[in-house]
Structure formats: C-alpha cells, structure tokens
Structure 1
Amino acid sequence: MSASFVTLKLATTLDGRIATASGESRWITGPEARQAVHRLRAEHNAVLVGVETALADDPELTVRLDGYDGAQPARVVLDSHQRLPVTAKLARTAGDIATYVVCGSPPRADLLDLGVRVLQAADQGRPSPRAALEALAGVGLNRVFIEGGGQVAASFLQAGLVDAVEWFRASMVIGAEGRPGIGDLALSALSDAPRLKRVDVREVGSDLWERYERI
C-alpha cells in the first residue's frame, strides 16, 4: 500500500470565510481561480469532501475543462452515518464516475444500487482521517484533494496529514458570522499550530493563489 499525498484546497475571503452564515458561497472566487481548481483536481485521483459540504452544495466534483479527456478522479464523501441522499448528484452519477462513501456503518443498499462504493473504515463511529486515507489507499486512491468543509480541513491538519495547501483568496470580507475555511483545532499553544512553508504566490484573475507545503 503506497503512502497517500494529501492536498487541501481552500477558497476563502480575505478573512478566511468560505460562506456566509446562511451558507451562500457561489461564487467567492472568480472564474480563473475555479479553472485552476479543475486543473488541480485532474492531478489527483480522489476528490474528498465532508457530508455537510455534499448536502449543502450538491457538488459534482468533476474536472470540467475545455478539451479535457483524461480520467475523472474518484469522488469521496466522509459520511459517518451515510446521510448522502440518493438524489444527490454524486449518488446519481456514481454509475459513471467512481464515487465512495467512507463511513462507520454497514453499506446502505440504496446507495449500492446506484453504484456508490461504501468503505467502512470505523466500527459504528466516525472514521479518523488516517483510517479514511488507509481505506482509500486500499482501493488505489492515494493522491487526495480535499475540498471541504471547514471541520474536515481542520481534522486532517490536526492529524498532520496535509502535505500541501492550495489557497485561493478573494478580495472580499464576510465577517465573523461567516463560515470559517478551517474549523476548530482546539489549540492551547502556538507551538501546537500546524506550520507550513509558502512556496508560491500568484494572481489569478482578481484573486490571489498561495501555495504551501508541509515543513
């Protein structure tokens, strides 16, 4: 089993928010930044979100670039209790694009019927980030692109499993009531904070793209 490489993508306001308090997030960043995200998806073999993101945004998580004819990355939902509805785009298109639910309970028959592949990575509980990566690596998915939400980002950072961060920052401010790009890390000291090294910064349209690597 090969080691996983994990990239965390953030698309936030200047104050680190990914949505308003009501959940509105389309679109914080501009079209150039979104095209860059599609190119990054194509460099990974799995795109991962938490179930809250899947429920709120109903995303496709596909590579949509003019002229792109490469493989689509697998879509992965961290979903402890298999709350992904059969009406979700991810479930409805699972027969065409590999789609996984990583959970802590036996597979739901209606998800299996649609072609969703269920990986039970915990026993009736919430799979840890490390357990989720091990389950994905077991099916050959070892380049993982995390796209949300805030608590998923925090859990992988807290576990020390993020190898790279791709941060797209828009020139707007939402305020403290907005939803944070990174959830609670429960830090008691600065020395406990995850630290990364910035390796690149560039403009993409009206947004800023900052790239970081694990130290």
Structure 2
Amino acid sequence: MSVTLKLATSLDGRIATASGESRWITGEKAREQVHRLRADHHAVVVGVETALADDPELTARLPGYAGPQPARVVLDSRQRLSPGCKLVKTAREVPTYVMATGAPDPSLTAAGVRVLTVPALGEDRPELKTVVQALAAEGFSNLFVEGGGQVAGSFLRCGLVDAIEWFRAPILLGGEGRPAVGALAVAALAEAPHFRRVEVTELGDDLWERYARMA
C-alpha cells in the first residue's frame, strides 16, 4: 500500500485563516491538478472534521473525464457524518467508507456507507496502521490523503506517508492561520520525517512541489 499526502497551503504552510476560511487558497490550475491526482488513486482519505466543515464530494471532476471515481474514506471514530451530507447521499454511486471505532451506525449502512471498525488510539482516534491494513484488505493499493492538519500530522507521525503533493500559493496567512500539518512530536532534527523533492512545476501563480520519502 502506498500513501500520498496532498497539501494545499499558503507560503507559510497554512491551510486556512484563524476563522477557518480556506476557499480558495490555491488557484484553478492547482485545483484541477488535484482532481487528476484523485483520479489516479484508489481512495481519497479525509478526517471527519474536514468532512463536517466542507461537506465535500471528494470526486475527480474533470472536463470529459468518464473514468472510475476513487472511493471516499472518512476517519470518523464516532460516526458523526450526517445522513444528509454529500458523501453519505452519494454512497450508492461512489463507494464510501467510514473508519470507526465502534459498531456500525445503521443510518450510515442503510445509506450504502461501508463502516469498517478498527481499534482506537489515544483520543478515540482510529489507529492509522490498522486503517491502512483494513483498506488494503478491501483491495486498495494506493491512498490519497487530503487532510486536514491533524490527519496529515498523524499519517506523518506514524511513518505512513510515501509521497507528498504540495500545492503552494503565493500568500501569507501568519501564525494565527491553521497549520497544514499537526503535531509530529519531533524533539530533534534527526527525528523529523525526511523527504526528497523530485519535481517543481508552476501552475499559474502557484507552485506544485512533489516529494518522495527518503529511506
């Protein structure tokens, strides 16, 4: 299983203002490339906070694209997704998974959502290594992790990220903005996750930086 982390940030690594405003930090060309990357992966992963705040579709929407859609995966230990949200309402059209730490909620399964129960870690969060194993057992061989910051930090902290697709906009949001990566518990530079930049592309005013994990 390979795991790719997508980040769309300001120059100083922020994904939203202090109030949570985030649409749109990056420009149209960057957002279009994200849709292409979604189409190249078996599943898109987000945290429940992102799902609740943005009510996303998490589909690959490109002009003329008629290929398969990635499955949508929500890390939702307490199954807080509403039956009225876009992900649940379209679960019979596009495979949708909830990674929970308790018994499946009948309102989600009745809508076509597949609820997978995994062990909890820390503050009742799904244990990510088990999450990846469970998704691999479902037949997925690559994941596209889209956030938010706590989810990004958790995947990095567990050493699960193989590549980063970083879209960086030429704006600054400052220290009060919401960080793209949550706590990593790094006490020394030697403990920090290390990545090698493999490509940089201009997309309008934005930069698309691609990184691979260093062995």
TM-score class, shorter-chain normalisation, is over 0.9
Structure 2 residue 110 is the aligned partner of structure 1 residue 113: yes
Q: What displacement does 1:123 show?
A: 5.7
What's the C-alpha RMSD, in Å, of the aligned pairs?
1.0
Amino acid at match of 2:166: W
**Which residue among 28, 39, 50 is the counterpart of 2:25?**
28
Structure 2 residue 67 is the aligned partner of structure 1 residue 70: yes
Identity %: 62
1:180 aligned partner: 179
Q: For the Cα contact (< 8 Å) 1:133–1:142, is it kept in 2?
A: no
Q: What displacement does 1:88 show?
A: 1.0
Q: For the Cα contact (< 8 Å) 2:120–2:127, is it kept in 1?
A: no
**Which residue among 7, 10, 13 is the counterpart of 2:7?**
10
Q: What displacement does 1:126 show?
A: 2.4
Q: What displacement does 1:178 show?
A: 0.7
The runs of 5 or more residues in structure 2 that have no matched partner are: none
User: What TM-score does the superposition give when structure 1 sets the normalisation length?
Assistant: 0.97
1:137 aligned partner: 136
Amino acid at match of 1:71: P
Q: How many residues align?
A: 212
Counterparts of 1:25-174 in structure 2, within 5 Å, are 25-122=22-119, 125-174=124-173
1:189 aligned partner: 188
Q: SS of 1:147's equivalent?
A: strand
User: What TM-score does the superposition give when structure 2 sets the normalisation length?
Assistant: 0.97
Amino acid at match of 2:115: V
Deviations 1:158-182 (A, max 9, x none): 1111010000000001111111000
